[in-house]
């Protein structure tokens, strides 16, 4: 089989990252292997996102730059996948004459046949057919990157909530869940490949299995918790209205479930939440936050917010700031509202001026920056277990307690904090320090977006310079 080079540019959410890996997996039998050099590729795929206007603009900008490369290499196959492909369909072929293939969010497993047709006849194809069920549920996972210790696993797709600002149901389709046996099979395969942590993905994981009569999400988590060799479990995204008592209790009883939940609230005002069609109130959200903290006192809670939703008043925005002060999130993602195709809010009156949206966004981010800094400072002196992800790409400490020379490493705590730490050269030969191990770190200082510390050396060690240290199992 002739070897061919594939470049995939991924824009958007974690589910797109997972889909990109699936795309690489289904195209591997056709002889395609990955490359980072676009000019050398035989096929370039742009996996797109349309949840925000900026992401859609980024996709079309990238596609526009590919026209020059296609002119220099007419045999290059240019493909567009993901949510923009699903949304725009044939319009992309009209707008971008150099594009050969447009495939929607449900067409990944139909890709090999479409690519074969294009290779043989140089035709142009659009496939944006949606299905109410998951047509293919086998684990076809693409290759891991060197040293990769964490992996995404999609457990369901689509959404039935129809929030008025959101385009997801229109581009990802209706909610459908994978069979738990296939999910467990895929995770076991990843563990055999060296993965120690998985993040279970869905637009609303809390409603997993409900339509199909499968096990509940809490029951699925219990099955995953029992997989030998797996160290940690994360999940996202969790819709507040479907956060059940049983799921809340899993944070107190499942050993491998990380003490972190991403619980998007979007607004702290009941009137805005109603116009968003979120189906919960501010008080109902706060009650669930309180129950989470009873079951798991050290749980880290993060969230999403939209500022400048149509009709949002200054008082309603202040309610959002008050909610952030009340909950004191570990971190958050915040966005200025923008109209999206097919989303009902695009037709709402009371649009907020751009300068006002920018001012509100900055006020929200400034508030969360202060809270995050205060939380990071409070962690100094505490010990956290991290999953070592590899050499640090960010700043580490100036820790003079550890013998030089120092190598900077990084890991992530159960609460999803990034923690940098330094070790002397002698310790690098210790197998326990290899990427994918767990290590206890004493927090010695804080940055705005991360923490730094040092390895804890145990009572049996004479000196750290001898290479003795206690590493968590």
Return the pLDDT at 467: 37
Structure confidence at residue 426 (pLDDT): 61
Specify which of 11-15, 25-29, 289-293, 465-469 reaches the highest per-range mean pLDDT.
Answer: 289-293
User: How many DSSP H helices and E strands does the chain contain?
Assistant: 13, 19
pLDDT confidence of 428, banded at 50, 70, 90? Answer: low
What are the C-alpha distances in Å from 324 to residues 208, 266, 269, 319?
A: 28, 11, 12, 9
Between 102 and 467, residue with greater pLDDT: 102
pLDDT number for residue 471: 37
E-only strand ranges, 62-218: 77-81, 101-103, 125-127, 150-154, 156-157, 176-177, 197-201
Average pLDDT over residues 165-194: 94
Exposure string for 268-296, b = 16+ CB within 10 A, e = fewer: bbbebbebbebebebeebbebbeebeeeb
C-alpha separations of 187 from 22, 29, 379 in Å: 14, 21, 32
| pLDDT at 404 exceeding the cut of 90 | no
pLDDT on residue 106: 94
State mean pLDDT over 45-74: 93
For residue 469, the model assigns a pLDDT of 37
The reported pLDDT for the residue numbered 394 is 56
Domains, the chain, ordered by start: 4-127 (3.40.50.12160), 150-378 (3.80.30.20), 383-466 (2.40.50)
Mean pLDDT of the region 51-57? 87
**Confidence class of residue 149 from pLDDT cuts 50, 70 and 90?**
very high
What would the pLDDT profile of 209-245 be if each residue is shown by its tens digit? 999 999 999 999 999 999 999 999 999 999 999 999 9
The percent of residues above 90 in pLDDT, for the chain, comes to 80
Q: How confident is the model at residue 58 (pLDDT cuts 50, 70, 90)?
A: very high
d(CA 16, CA 11): 7
What is the C-alpha separation between 191 and 128, in angstroms, rounded?
Answer: 33
**Percent with pLDDT over 70 in the chain:** 90
Mean pLDDT of 461-466: 33
Residue 134's pLDDT is: 80
Average pLDDT, the chain: 90
How high is the pLDDT of residue 424?
A: 63
Q: Which residue has the higher pLDDT, 2 or 26?
A: 26
Segment 432-450 shows an average pLDDT of: 86
Residues 128-148: what's their mean pLDDT? 80
When mean pLDDT is compared across 128-132, 418-422, 432-436, the lowest value belongs to 432-436
Residue 242, CA atoms < 13 Å, CB-side half-sphere: 19
With a cut of 50, say whether residue 396 has pLDDT above it.
no
- Structure tokens belonging to residue 244: 């059940």
Q: Residue 112: is it exposed, middle or buried by C-beta count within 10 angstroms (0-12/13-18/19+)?
A: middle
Q: Is residue 140 pLDDT above 80, yes or no?
A: no
Q: Which pLDDT tens digit goes with each residue over 84-103?
A: 999 999 999 999 999 999 99
Q: Does the pLDDT value for residue 194 go beyond 60?
A: yes
Q: What is the DSSP letter of 30?
A: G
Give me the sheet containing 260-262, strands edge to edge: 260-262, 300-307, 331-336
Compute the distance between CA of residue 113 and CA of residue 199 in angstroms, rounded to an integer.
30
DSSP 48: E
Statement: residue 445 has pLDDT above 60:
yes
Residues 357, 334: Cα–Cα separation, whole Å: 11
- Verdict on whether the full-model pTM lies above 0.95: no
Q: Is the pLDDT of residue 466 over 60?
A: no
């Amino acid at each position: 089989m002739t070897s061919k080079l594939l470049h995939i540019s991924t824009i958007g959410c974690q589910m797109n990252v997972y889909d990109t890996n699936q795309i690489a997996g289904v195209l591997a039998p056709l002889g395609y292997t990955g490359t980072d050099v676009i000019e050398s590729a035989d096929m370039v795929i742009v996996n797109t996102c349309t949840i925000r206007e900026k992401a859609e603009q980024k996709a079309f900008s990238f596609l526009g730059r590919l026209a020059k490369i296609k002119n220099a290499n007419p045999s290059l196959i240019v493909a567009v996948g993901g949510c923009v492909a699903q949304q725009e369909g044939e319009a992309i072929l009209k707008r971008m004459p150099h594009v050969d293939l447009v495939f929607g969010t449900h067409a990944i497993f139909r890709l090999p046949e479409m690519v074969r047709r294009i290779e043989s006849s140089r035709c142009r194809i659009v496939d944006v057919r949606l299905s109410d069920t998951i047509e293919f549920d086998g684990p076809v996972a693409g290759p891991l990157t060197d040293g990769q210790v964490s992996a995404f696993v999609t457990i369901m797709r689509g959404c039935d909530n129809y929030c008025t600002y959101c385009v997801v149901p229109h581009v990802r389709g209706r909610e459908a869940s994978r069979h738990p046996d296939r999910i467990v099979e895929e995770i076991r395969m990843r563990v055999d490949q060296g993965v120690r942590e998985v993040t279970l993905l869905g637009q609303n994981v809390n409603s997993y299995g409900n339509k199909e009569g499968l096990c509940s999400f809490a029951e699925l988590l219990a099955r995953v918790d029992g997989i030998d060799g797996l160290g940690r479990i994360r999940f996202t995204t969790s819709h507040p209205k479907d956060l059940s008592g049983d799921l809340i209790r899993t944070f107190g009883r499942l050993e491998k479930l990380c003490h972190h939940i991403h619980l998007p609230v979007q607004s702290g005002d009941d009137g805005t939440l109603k116009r968003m069609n979120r189906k919960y109130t501010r008080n109902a959200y706060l009650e669930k936050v309180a129950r989470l903290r009873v079951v798991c006192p050290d749980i880290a809670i993060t969230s999403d917010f939209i500022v400048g939703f149509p009709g949002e008043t200054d008082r309603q925005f202040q309610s959002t700031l008050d909610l952030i002060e009340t909950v004191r999130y570990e971190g958050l993602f915040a966005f200025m509202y923008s109209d999206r195709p097919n989303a009902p809010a695009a037709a709402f009156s009371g649009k907020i001026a751009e300068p006002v949206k920018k001012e509100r966004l900055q006020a929200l981010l400034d508030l969360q920056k202060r809270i995050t800094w205060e939380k990071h400072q409070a962690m100094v002196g505490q010990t956290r277990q991290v999953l070592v992800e590899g050499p640090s790409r960010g700043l580490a400490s100036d820790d003079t307690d550890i013998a030089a020379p120092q190598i900077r490493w990084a890991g992530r705590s159960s609460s999803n904090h990034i923690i940098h730490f330094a070790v002397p050269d002698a310790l690098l030969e210790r197998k326990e320090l290899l990427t994918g191990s767990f290590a206890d770190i004493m927090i010695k200082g804080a940055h705005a977006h991360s923490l730094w510390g040092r390895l804890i050396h145990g009572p049996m060690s004479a000196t750290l310079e001898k290479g003795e240290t206690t590493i968590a199992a």
